[in-house]
Chains A and B, each alone.
Chain A
Amino acid sequence: MTRLLVPLLLLAAALCAIVLADRPMPRADLTLNNGQDPTTLDPSQVSWTSDLRVSRLLFEGLVANDVFDPGYGIAPAAAERWEISADGREYRFFLREEARWSNGEPVRAGDFVYAWRRAILPDTAADYFTFFEYIEGVGAFFDWRLGALDAFARDSAEMAPATRAQAARDLWAETERRFGAGVGLEVVSDRELVVRLTHPVPFFLDLCAFPAFFPVYEPLVGQYDRLDPDTGRVISGAGWTKPPRLVSNGPFALTVWRFKRDMRFEVNPWYWDRDSLDVRTIEITSIADPSAQVLAYQTGAVDYLVDVNAPYRREMVAQKNAYYREHQAEHQRLVGEGWDAFEIDRRLPPDPRGLVHITPAFGTYLWNFNCSPAMPDGRPNPLADARVRRALALMIDKRAIAEQVRGLGEPVARTIVPPGSLAGYDSPEGLPCLSDCRTETEREALIGRARALLAEAGYPDPAGLPTIELEFNKDSGHDLAAQSIAKNWQETLGIPTRLVQKELTVFRDDLKTHNFITSRASWYGDYPDPLTFLEINRTGDGNNDRAFSNPAFDSMLDASYIQTDPAERLAGLARAERLLVEEELPFVPLVHYVNVSMFDAARLSGPNPHPRSIQDLSLFDILGDGIGSDEVKRVAREEHR
């Protein structure tokens, strides 16, 4: 019998040892959930919004977005000032003397060039490479290096190992020389950086505020670079972003990162503006399950949820709206006074329903039309004709999708750029849809208009169209949206339809190879300019899943790069968008997304309700905790109105 107990005792002893080795940390000033874990903290590699938020906490670019400015203006950051040449093609940045890395070393102009070179080299390039193509010489340099690496791979196979290693080093020396001579980046001194662009880019400062343009500390990151003698490539190793190794220049420094558990940040003692920070420690917990995230908020384990995704969030949104209705007069008055959405919640009577916040997001839910001349099976594609696309776009009940399928109170979309998100940009009108018809006569007229368009395109009987497939991946309710649209098309025009559900990766491959007829899509803007939404429709663009091509549209985009008058430029882009959403319809805009977050506005200040939704976590403040100013930050009122 004793022998039987031994294995159990051994198990118990092992268990105790593991549990004792793992001690919890004290609670941070601010605890939040970031939606999902960052995939990387390497600024040149970031891609997900969760990465971007953490990046802004750890690193600081030349400039930053002022998130409490109604126009999301540009504020100085690592650069204290800058000069732009008269032709708009040369930017001269002057770095502040106090800008420091978290180990006390000064931030130098060369650190930016090193970081940007990593983002530009084919060896280490990543998702946001295209942002760097605005810099003079980048495209040519990238192509040259790519060609040189291919040639190296061909030639090196016959070389002896020692010659091969030397050849790789020679190629790298040549690469450095060409980068220095050919790319429009010039380090004038440690504190002065000149950037030359291929053409004027009105939003270049916004790009400089984007994490892909943040600097990295060369003495650290360089340690992880390795020249591979077999391929001639620089291989950039992972590991330098993990504490205690990471050296960063932003407001906070990373002290603990336990993968899929938590990240802990403390004020960077060398940060130039450290005295203005309102929390000393931040913890980002890693809770993957959407319901568990809400539960964690409700039990007080976290102070802020960036993204509420629980299956019951429709009900939460409905309750929030019911709460507003209960205090309608008060709510209307506060809106009239021009307070921002979070400040209004702060001033309304406290209620658990008020903890959910619905703010516009800088993104649009779309339905793609494949514009290729042939369908995937080789037959002629009826959707290659813009009139067919326009007819189908008219026959969608977008309000049903907004209210019944999604249920988050998202506004119905007629354009791809969310109206009101960009200062000075007047969105085009866009096409009406089924849900805009208030009477049966209006509805009949709209159906008649769609039928006429189809007849013009050679389909007097819409039932004679080939079966229109609606392709989607199974998550996020796309199946319901597809059903709703298919039903609209069948009922109004009698078009044969078929639903095609794919697994996400297969779905993505189908989009890339244009192997679909119609499909669900979404697009989020990256920088505050209509181009961030329009460029994806340019002929041959890497994200032009629709295979849409219209030379007139392309040249309208080109013209925006030459036009120096800002108002005229935006008007030109609005004409380009009008062409897309009123005539060509490579996609139908369905709804503009909203962001659902959760926090107690009376207790937490710092989140901003701006339509472009960049959350700068370093501005957060737990009100009344005695740390920092404890003063509410809000969007300036008179301009907000």
Chain B
Amino acid sequence: MLSLILRRLIQLPVIVWVIYTLTLILAWAVPGNPLENPEGRRPPPEVAAAMKAQYNLDSFPRFYLSYLDSATGLRWARETLSGEGARRAEAARGAGLAPPARPVFDLGPSLKHRDERVASILAGALPVSVSLGLLAIIIAVALGVTAGVVGAVRPNSFADLATLVVALVGISLPSFVIGTLLLLVFGVWLKLLPVGGWGSPVKMVLPALTLSLPFAAYIARLTRMGMIEHLGSDYVRTARAKGVGELAVLFRHALKNAFLPVLSYLGPATALAMTGSFVVERVFNVPGLGQHFINAVQNKDLFLIIGVVLVFSTMLVLLNLAVDVLYRWVDPRIE
């Protein structure tokens, strides 16, 4: 187990480096000038060229190396060793001001929102996306497993059919339709829940519910299939023959095994719920990561594109690792 974790953690920087290189090549090829206001005045060409040079956007190799230099902490180490960092902090204190922040791993500025460091954008948006994604997954598991068990206990009954229809709707309807529908019903007509924004648990309910439905639907189908399979298996028949109560058969025997495919689905699903909530974020005005991803690509905001991609890929690697570890822990038969 420990060697698995170690091996994956050692692979992580290599994976991240390859992803950085590929992302930068692709993002660099996107047409357009990220420093340009698409509806406004264009500065004279020599000023536009000087602006690009300010961010090393005039040379691919220079950008590639300088990003690696600051993102890996090399620049920080150099400035610390040479005493440059201490000198700056001293100068700031001399003027009665807080010294400039000096992060070890500097992911650069955003090119569209030039006052923002990518790291602070990510730090602000990540908790939002993570909590929204987590709540959505919790709701999805609760809804999905319940529906799946109900369906499996009485296959082809009315209850089974009903959950099948709901699951089908959950998977096929895009979240901007479901989101807007929920918003209209609960926010505007019933006035039970706020129409959007972030900052209190009650504001999380609608976006999390919207986000959870496709996952809930998939989990319901996985659970139902697994349950039907296991309920018909020999060990369940044996348990019933031994007089084990129906509830215990369902939950202690069948569900325990039927849940394993759900568990392995939860890894990518959690990653997807945390990172793929762009539409939901937009409909409910949630300040999460997804919007930055889309906007960054549209604005050709190189630093932000790379930052978001690196965070997403790191999360995916780590969540997959977490699921593998959990899986072994839940079912020790797996090597």
Contacts and interface: CB of A to CB of B under 8 A. Distances in A.
A238 B251 CA distance: 56
Which of under 10, 10 to 19, 20 to 34, or 35 or more describes the interface residues of A? 35 or more
Interface stretch (A389-397, A506-514, A553-561): A506-514
A100 interface: no
Interface string A265-303: 000000000000000000001111100100110010100
Given A122-B50, A223-B91, A260-B125, 17 more contacts: A11-B137, A11-B270, A15-B135, A22-B199, A39-B112, A42-B114, A125-B43, A127-B47, A128-B43, A130-B43, A223-B97, A259-B116, A285-B197, A295-B195, A299-B194, A505-B30, A542-B42
Contacts of B31: 503, 505-506, 509
A116 to B, nearest CB: 15
B41 A18 contact: no
B42 A41 contact: no
B88 interface: yes
Between A143, A296, A508, the greatest number of chain B beta carbons within 10 A of the residue's beta carbon is seen for A508
B44 A288 contact: no
Contact of B138 (A12, A48, A244, A506): A12
A223 B90 CA distance: 10
B234 interface: no
B204 interface: yes
A126 B51 contact: yes
A130 B40 CA distance: 14
B113 A37 contact: yes
B204 A19 contact: yes
A238 B116 contact: yes
B198 interface: yes
9 contacts: A8-B141, A41-B115, A103-B96, A122-B53, A125-B43, A260-B287, A522-B39, A542-B44, A542-B45
Contacts of A258: 124, 287
Contact of A223 (B51, B100, B199): B100
A362 to B, nearest CB: 13
Contacts of A19: 131, 201, 204
A295 B191 CA distance: 12
A245 B98 contact: yes
B259 interface: yes
B326 A7 contact: yes
A595 B91 CA distance: 47
B131 A223 contact: no
Contacts of B198: 22, 261
Contacts of B95: 219-220, 223
B124 A260 contact: yes
Contacts of A524: 40
Interface in B99-129: 99-101, 109, 112-117, 120-121, 124-125, 127
B100 A224 contact: yes
A1 B252 contact: yes
The main secondary structure of chain A at its interface with chain B is loop
B37 A15 contact: no
Given A4-B259, A233-B54, A22 B43 contact: no
Contacts of B195: 292, 295-296, 299
Interface string B192-206: 001111111100100
B329 interface: yes
B115 A288 contact: no
Interface residues of B, number: 80
Interface in B147-202: 187-188, 194-201
A122 B47 contact: yes
Contacts of A295: 187-188, 195-196
A532 B114 CA distance: 26
Contacts of B39: 522
Contacts of A437: none
Nearest to B30: A505
Contact of B131 (A3, A15, A288): A15
Contacts of A129: 43-44, 47
B32 A509 contact: yes
A563 interface: no
Given A125-B43, A127-B37, A509-B31, A238 B117 contact: yes
A279 B106 CA distance: 38
A223 B88 contact: yes
Nearest to B113: A39
Which 8 interchain pairs have the tightest Cβ spacing? Answer: A505-B32, A219-B95, A122-B50, A18-B131, A24-B199, A542-B44, A260-B287, A241-B115
A383 to B, nearest CB: 22
Contacts of A86: none
Interface in B267-306: 270, 282-285, 287, 291-292, 300
A3 B255 CA distance: 13
Given A24-B199, A238-B116, A261-B198, A288 B291 contact: yes
Contact of A242 (B54, B115, B282): B115
B225 to A, nearest CB: 18
Contacts of A261: 124, 198-199, 287
